[in-house]
Structures are given as C-alpha cells and as structure tokens.
C-alpha cells in the first residue's frame, strides 16, 4: 500500500533525496568510502558544504552581506544563541505558541524580554496583528510558522528594529525577503534534511555587537569566520540538505514550492470546511500551508480515535495532532505530493459517508 507521511518533523523528504543519501552512505561517488567516513576537512565534503550554502543563497535570493551557516544542533539551540549574540538590554518577542514561548524563555537569561503580543487567549489559533514594537529593543523575534498550532505569517513583516525569525517549519516553502531580517534560523528536520542539523542566515553587520564574551561554539561570528567549519558539522545531514536543495531548484525553486503548498492546503481546508464532521482550528488568513490542524466537529468528538485508525488503514501516516494541541495535524512540507492531500481529503469524505 502506498503510504503518505504527514509527520511534523522529522518529516517526509523527496524519495530521490532519501535514495541519494542511502547511496552516498554505502559508497560516495565511487570512492569506495561512505560519505559518513569522509573528513569534514576533505575536499569532497568542502564541495558539498559550499554548494549547499550557495544554493541556500540562490534559492532565497540572499543579498550580499549575509552568511549562511549549517551547524549541528536544532532550532532550540538558537533559542539561546540568538539572545547570546544579539541581546544587549531588551528583546521583543511575538508569542504565537509553544516554540515562540520556548525561545522567549531562553532570552530572559540574557536581558529584559518584552512580549509584544500573544495569541494565548485563543489557544494560539491566530497571529496577533497591529502590535507595538519597542523602538529600543535590540530585536524582534517571530516564529514564521507555528508547527504545533497551524498558524503562519505569510508575509515578511516590517520591523523598526532588527528582525529575527525561527523559520524551522516553512523555510524553502515560499520566497522570503531576507533583507528584512538580521537573522533567520531553524532546525533542518522539517523541510531541509534529517535531524541533527540547523541552518542560519545571518547579517554580518549584526554580529559582534553585544560586547559580551560568548563561548566560541555559540558565537555566530566564530562560525561565520570559519565558513561554517569551526567544528565538525553533521556531515551526512549536510549531504541530504544539498540533495534536497538541488531538488527544490530542479522543481522550480521556492516560488513553485509555494504554489504547490497553497494548492495542497486548499484541498485540505476546503474538505475540512465542507465536511460537517470536521472543523479547522485556525480560521482565515493565518492558516498554515505547512501544518493543517483540525479536530472532530462538535457532536463527533467520540469518533476521533476511529478516524485516526481509519486513516492509518489507508496508509495515511501520522495525522495525529501534537500532544499539546490534540486533534489532527496534517503536515505537508515540500516533499508531500499533491496525491497525498487528495488521499486524505478522500479519506475524510468516505469516513463521513460511512
Ligand atoms: C520543530 C521546531 C522547533 C524545535 O526544533 P529542534 O530542532 O527540536 O530544537 C523550533 N521551532 C519550530 C518552529 C519548530 O517547528
């Protein structure tokens, strides 16, 4: 049976990317060595790392004056690295859910933290608008896509202070105006590669400004000056990232990824809105194109487990919601084929007919 993987992360990758990684593990480019066995200082790895970093610049049209880093660790590591590297006195955070709150918590270790707005009042089911940003904040931190609650900032906001974004779960799913940001970061395991790797796009002129002593491994400036080779990066995930970035480029780049993501999201939200058995937890423009959250509509709550099993029997994997949010979540990253969401919509239709 064909399976569609709706995991939220680590998540689905294009099959060809998985195959290429598997082949490189067994024998990289006919060298008789596994890619895992190559030195991170070898010319072969250097080529892979350089191409991956330059493809990130190309795909996102990164302007001059920015460094691209591929580092070990996850997005959570940057929850601490961001304030370590940018917070002098005060930082502003937009609280749109679990990940934003975790980022904010780390920042309190480094200085004053202002919550500019929060959507906690409605269980993070929307993105706050029209909030004030303190002009004296060292930066404003936003989470572009809220993986757990299924909300997304579909445009790059204007900020009077340097803008920092956690783009873990929607990077490479749409064009980004990188020039609006001082720093973009995320974990690789949602839309770039397997876990163990993180990405950073950082404005060089924003680095080295805090006057604070920073442990080398947590200092973006150290990593930038070392060309992302200060220490050993997770080499195999860098290879997977390169193959995935090549795939995105071949498919038509991030604009094409966005077009497909909108179509996929449209199929699912339309069915959820139409089908009386289901209800979306997010309304309107804040709906994520990456993580589509829904619950059983009122009166049908007791069918949740039955629907979960029904979907699993049809090869629709991992549609259960986050343990905090409950209900269902269909994560549809770049690799999700259109047939995957059609199969899920069909499954919801058939379930309601039973
Ligand atoms: C998954 C996720 C994280 C956490 O990533 P780790 O790599 O596990 O630290 C942080 N932010 C967002 C938006 C995420 O989706």
Instruction: Encode pLDDT of 147-172 as tens digits.
Output: 999 999 999 999 999 999 999 999 99
* Helices (H) then strands (E): counts for the chain: 9, 14
Range(s) of the domain holding residue 235: 15-251
Question: Does residue 206 share a domain with residue 262?
Answer: no
User: Is 247 in the active site?
Assistant: no
188 located within any domain: yes
| Residue 101: alpha-carbon gap to chain centroid | 16
The CATH number for 304's domain is 3.90.1150.10
Going by the DSSP 8-state scheme, the letter that residue 157 receives in this structure is P
Question: Does residue 283 share a domain with residue 151?
Answer: no
User: Is 99 in the active site?
Assistant: yes
Contact 241, 50 (CB under 8 A): no
Question: Does residue 294 share a domain with residue 217?
Answer: no
3 state DSSP class of 99 = helix
The 10s digit of each residue's pLDDT in 277-295 is 999 999 999 999 999 999 9
Average pLDDT score, the chain: 97
**Domain tally, the chain:** 2
Distance CA 44, CA 271 (A): 48
Question: Does residue 206 share a domain with residue 301?
Answer: no
The 10s digit of each residue's pLDDT in 97-116 is 999 999 999 999 999 999 99
Which among 234, 251, 268 is the end of a domain?
251
Distance 75 CA to ligand 1 centre (A): 5
Which among 251, 281, 309 is the end of a domain?
251
Distance CA 72, CA 81 (A): 12
Nearest to 28 by CA among 239, 193, 234: 239
Check whether 310 has a pLDDT greater than 80. Answer: yes
Pairing of β 90-95 and β 151-152 = unpaired
Which is the closest atom of ligand 1 to the Cα of 169? Answer: 15
The CATH number for 91's domain is 3.40.640.10
Which is the closest atom of ligand 1 to the Cα of 74? Answer: 7
Q: Which of 190, 203, 219, 286 is catalytic?
A: 190
3 state DSSP class of 127 = coil
332, HSE (Cβ side, Cα atoms, 13 Å): 32
Question: Does residue 285 share a domain with residue 183?
Answer: no
Distance CA 120, CA 163 (A): 22
Distance CA 156, CA 180 (A): 7
Strands, sheet with 278-280, edge to edge from the N-terminal-most edge strand: 278-280, 291-296, 328-331
Q: What is the rounded average pLDDT of the residues 32-59?
A: 98
Question: Does residue 158 share a domain with residue 88?
Answer: yes
Q: What is the rounded average pLDDT of the residues 128-134?
A: 96
Whether the bond into 42 is cis, omega within 30 of 0: no
Nearest to 71 by CA among 187, 221, 193: 187
Question: Does residue 319 share a domain with residue 214?
Answer: no
Check whether 25 has a pLDDT greater than 80. Answer: yes
Which among 195, 230, 251 is the end of a domain?
251
Percent of the residues in the chain that have a pLDDT greater than 70, as a whole number: 100
Question: Does residue 257 share a domain with residue 201?
Answer: no
3 state DSSP class of 298 = coil
Distance CA 48, CA 64 (A): 21
Angle at the Cα of 283 from the Cα atoms of 279 and 289, rounded to 5 degrees: 95
Q: Which of 99, 286, 293, 320 is catalytic?
A: 99
5 located within any domain: no
Q: What is the rounded average pLDDT of the residues 40-68?
A: 98
Distance 338 CA to ligand 1 centre (A): 25
pTM beyond 0.75: yes
The 10s digit of each residue's pLDDT in 172-208 is 999 999 999 999 999 999 999 999 999 999 999 999 9
Question: Does residue 142 share a domain with residue 153?
Answer: yes
Question: Does residue 219 share a domain with residue 143?
Answer: yes
Confidence of residue 302 (pLDDT cuts 50, 70, 90): very high
Q: Look at residue 321 in the predicted model and tell me its pLDDT.
A: 86
Question: Does residue 121 share a domain with residue 234?
Answer: yes
Please state, as a whole number, how many other Cβ atoms lie within 10 Å of the Cβ of residue 48. Answer: 22
294: which 2 tokens? Answer: 């829904």
Check whether 322 has a pLDDT greater than 90. Answer: no
């Amino acid at each position: 049976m064909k399976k569609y993987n709706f995991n939220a992360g680590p998540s689905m990758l294009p099959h060809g990317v998985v195959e290429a990684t598997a082949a490189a593990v067994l024998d990289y480019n006919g060298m008789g060595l596994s890619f895992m066995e190559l030195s991170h200082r070898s010319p072969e790895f250097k080529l892979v790392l350089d191409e991956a970093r330059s493809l990130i610049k190309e795909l996102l049209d990164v302007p001059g004056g920015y460094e691209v880093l591929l580092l070990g660790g996850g997005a959570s590591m940057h929850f601490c690295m961001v304030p370590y590297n940018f917070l002098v006195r005060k930082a502003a955070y937009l609280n749109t859910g679990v990940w934003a709150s975790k980022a904010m918590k780390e920042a309190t270790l480094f200085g004053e933290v202002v919550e500019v707005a929060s959507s906690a009042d409605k269980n993070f089911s929307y993105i706050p608008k029209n909030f004030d940003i303190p002009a004296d904040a060292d930066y404003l931190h936003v989470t572009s896509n809220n993986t757990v609650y299924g909300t997304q900032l579909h445009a790059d906001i204007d900020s009077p202070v340097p803008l920092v974004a956690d783009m873990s779960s929607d990077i490479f799913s749409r064009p980004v105006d990188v020039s609006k940001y001082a720093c973009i970061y995320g974990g690789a395991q949602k839309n770039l590669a397997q876990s163990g790797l993180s990405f950073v796009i950082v404005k060089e002129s924003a680095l080295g400004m805090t006057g604070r002593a920073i442990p080398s491994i947590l200092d973006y400036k150290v990593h930038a000056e070392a060309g992302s080779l200060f220490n050993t990066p997770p080499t195999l995930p860098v290879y997977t990232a390169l193959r995935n970035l090549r795939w995105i480029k071949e498919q038509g780049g991030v604009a094409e990824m966005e077009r497909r993501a909108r179509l996929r999201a449209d199929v699912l939200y339309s069915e959820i809105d139409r089908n009386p058995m289901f209800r979306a937890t997010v309304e309107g423009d804040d709906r994520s194109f990456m993580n589509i959250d829904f619950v059983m509509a009122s009166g049908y709550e007791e069918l949740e487990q039955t629907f979960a099993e029904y979907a699993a029997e049809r090869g629709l994997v991992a549609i259960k919601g986050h343990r905090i949010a409950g209900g269902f979540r269909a994560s549809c990253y770049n690799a999700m084929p259109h047939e995957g969401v059609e199969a899920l919509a069909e499954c919801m239709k058939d379930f309601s007919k039973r």
